[in-house]
Amino acid sequence: MSRKLNYKTKWRDEIERFFQEVAKDHVTAADVFEYFRENGYTIGMTTVYRQLDNLVSDGTLNKYTIEAGSPACYEYAGHGADAPGCSCFHCKCEICGRLIHLHCDELKMIQSHLSEHHNFTLNPLRTVFYGVCDACREARV
C-alpha cells in the first residue's frame, strides 16, 4: 500500500475549506474552478482535478458518477467522526434530474444482504439509485 504523500498546500486547504463552508451538496470540478476564478484567484482546471483526486483518496470527499458524459460530482465527507455524508444514499430522478439524499438506516439492510449473500461490500458513497421521484411519478399519470 504505497500511497503517495500529499503535500499540504494552499489549494489543498482552500478547496477543502470550500467544501466545508461554501459548497452545496453536489459540486463539479467546474464549480470549484469557477468559484475560485470568480473570486479573483488563478487556479487551473488541472489543479482542481488533481486536488479533488487527492481529497477523494484521503476520504475527505466522496465522488459520484451521476451520468456518463456528465461531469462527476463531489461531496464533503469529513474526517472520520464528523463525517456528515457517511450514511447517505443518493437517488437520481431520471425525468427531472433531481438528486435526492436519503439518510435512512433501513437501507443499510441492503449492505448487509449484499455482504452476507453475495459477498459484495457495497460502497454507499459511490452508489446512485436511479428511478422516478414522487413529483414526476404523479405528473406522469
Q: Is 42 near DNA (CB under 7 A)?
A: yes
DSSP 59-120: TSEEEE--STTSPPEEEE--SGGG-SSTT-EEEEETTT--EEEE--GGGHHHHHHHHHHH--
Interacting span for its own copies (CB under 8 A) from 6-14, 17-25, 32-40, 97-105:
97-105
Q: Which of 70, 79, 96, 139 binds its own copies (CB under 8 A)?
A: 70
Q: Is 56 near its own copies (CB under 8 A)?
A: no
Site for DNA in 44-73 (CB under 7 A): 44-47, 49-51, 53-54, 68-72
Which residues in this chain contact DNA in the complex, by CB under 7 A?
4-12, 28-30, 42-47, 49-51, 53-54, 68-72
